[in-house]
Amino acid sequence: MALTSDSEEEYYSSPEEGGDDDDRLSFRTASNESDNDAGAGDDADDDCLYGDSDGDDDGMYDEYEGDEEEGLEEVDEEGEVLDEMRFTATQYAVLTMDEVRARQEEHTARVADLIALPPGLAAAVLRHFKWSAQGVWERWFSDEHKVRDAVGLPPDGDAVSVAVNDAPLTCYICFDAHAPGEMRSAGCAHFYCRGCWSGYVRAAVGDGARCLSIRCPDMGCSAAVVRDLVDDVADADDAKRYGEFLVRSYVEESKRIRWCPAPGCDRAVEFDGEKCTVQLDAWCACGHGFCLACGEEAHRPVACDTVREWLEKNRSDSETAQWVLANTKHCPECRRPIEKNQGCMHMTCSPPCKHQFCWLCLGPWDKHDGGNYNCNTYNTARAEGKYTEEELRRAQAKASVDRYLHYYERWGAHERSRQKALEDTAALGKDGAQREAVAAAFGVVETELDFLEEAYRQVAECRRMLRWTYAFGYYLDDPAKRDLFEDLQSQADKSLERLHECAEKDRAKLVAEAAGEHGAVADKYLEFRPRLSSLTTVARNHFENMARAFRDGLAEVEVDPAVAARRAAAAPPPPPLDDDDDEDFFEELRM
């Protein structure tokens, strides 16, 4: 829930950022030095393409016969899979904004009782330790004086968050005299009138979340200004904004809670522990999934480090540079990269160079134009494996780009397919546009279509998981683990494609046949429903098994001999190269 609009305040995740003390009326914040002394610097730290089905409709399910047996065999694993999924769901809680406020107040009240401070000051102490009760417990009882000094509490005795003058005093900001009860202090000896306090708080709130760290206006005083005092002296709008910053601080400075990053969602997700340090996908009530450890989109079963590295690679300009190297040639004179955009081989470099050369051999064009044309001459040195440094560099860059594009294309294609599955899920959901029509075509009530919605949800989840395995595969170097990885990925992909084809194509066929063949469609529906449910279970089990293998670091690197034989049989032998093929290969290197 970070602020992104230019008209809104910049949120600082650390309470010690920013602030000038030059103007007495400007708000004052806690210093970095005091926080460091108290140890508050703890580290917070493509659409699916299916093969066309041949044959009549009665043979619609023949190709799935073997998979039905496989599905029935794997149903026994369903209980274990569901238990693991339920356990994951209990590791976090989704909170609304009101629930976040209630959790913050409850948290603050417990710590206030523990250290015997008013709730406003207890909240300041908690925030100093990133809202960690454990941190408060360890530091407060080991060196209370140091914590008091860092937070802005009196060194000893009872601390109060708001003090009222009991005698006539002069406000040292506006220099007006005020009767008893008309002035306030932050528990210190420096009293100011309500008007000056209100302006002071307004200036602080207007500068953003740093208002949570303001201190007494007196330059020599470090007393903390907390929620109790703000509510007493500020107007309603300023007090409300201060409260919003405080709630956001509870989420954004905590190690346990994260805002849902979905646009427009104001819910938060709380981890059931001190801090989530390993990959854990959480699903908000809005339907968005993200990792509690790194904050990126849900990426099970791939580790956070791999995801960060992959996304950074996609965002960087390095691949553009690699493309330039693979698809352009340098001018032999000025070394400027040139891309060929016309059919003629006569190249002219742009001014001021204007060097003319041949695109194929990079030799000066005047030699070609003068009759000494030798680009067609076979290069014996290359046939012996002797290449220039530039030719080798270009060939390596082209291979690197091709490898990256292989994984990136599949990573993106599965995401597009996942989005389509989500659209189908919504269309077949309880309020979906297609649900009523499909139910009528099948001759059943709408409530009996939950299995279809579940299948599409499983498709979307499997697409997401399979998508991220390509990021993992890009960085996997161990040949033994790669064999196991590719076999797991292949089996999961196979089960997913069968599920998606059954849910999409077979369903479409049944709906298309609905007109005038109600009896036949009803019979086929009775076959379609258990088939789709079985394929849903098979896909779920395949992907959960793959996730376990990823979690264990692909420890089972010994591939089954039958699997190895199947993989070897599926790989076609390389075709023999003749002289023309050799020439084409080296021509590609030159191009």
Contact present, 543 and 497 (Cβ < 8 Å): no
Amino acid at 545: N
Q: Using CA atoms, how far apart are residues 183 and 511, in angstroms rounded to an integer? A: 77
Q: Using CA atoms, how far apart are residues 162 and 142, in angstroms rounded to an integer? A: 27
Contact present, 98 and 290 (Cβ < 8 Å): no
CA-based nearest residue to 4, from 244, 264, 285, 241: 264
Bridge partners, residue 185, by sequence = 163
Q: For the chain, what is the largest distance between any 2 Cα atoms, rounded to a whole number of angstroms?
A: 109
Q: Using CA atoms, how far apart are residues 425 and 453, in angstroms rounded to an integer? A: 6
Amino acid at 542: H
Contact present, 458 and 539 (Cβ < 8 Å): yes
Q: Using CA atoms, how far apart are residues 148 and 129, in angstroms rounded to an integer? A: 12
Contact present, 120 and 97 (Cβ < 8 Å): no
Q: Using CA atoms, how far apart are residues 511 and 506, in angstroms rounded to an integer? A: 9
- Tell whether omega for the bond before 301 is within 30 degrees of 0, i.e. cis: yes
Q: Do strands 169-170 and 183-185 pair parallel, antiparallel, or not at all (unpaired)?
A: unpaired
Contact present, 305 and 315 (Cβ < 8 Å): no
Measured CA distances, 445 to 439, 450, 523 (Å):
6, 10, 16
Q: Is 260 a catalytic residue?
A: no
Burial state string for 7-20 with b = 16 or more CB within 10 A and e = fewer than 16: eebebbebbbeebe
Out of 344, 353, 361, 462, which one is annotated catalytic? 344
Residues constituting the chain: 591
Contact present, 97 and 286 (Cβ < 8 Å): no
Q: Is 236 exposed, middle or buried (0-12, 13-18, 19+ CB in 10 A)?
A: exposed
Measured CA distances, 48 to 417, 453, 460, 467 (Å):
6, 18, 12, 13
Q: Using CA atoms, how far apart are residues 164 and 168, in angstroms rounded to an integer? A: 11
Q: Using CA atoms, how far apart are residues 206 and 198, in angstroms rounded to an integer? A: 12
- Written in H, E and C, the secondary structure of 6-48 is CCCCCCCCCCCCCCCCCCCCCCEECCHHHHHHCCCCCCCCCCC
Using N-to-C axis directions, what is the helix angle for 450-474 and 518-551, rounded to 10°? 30
**Residue 538, both tokens:** 């098979």
* Sign of the alpha-carbon torsion through 412, 418, 424, 426: negative
Contact present, 323 and 401 (Cβ < 8 Å): yes
**Residue 294, both tokens:** 């790194």
Q: Which residues are catalytic?
A: 344
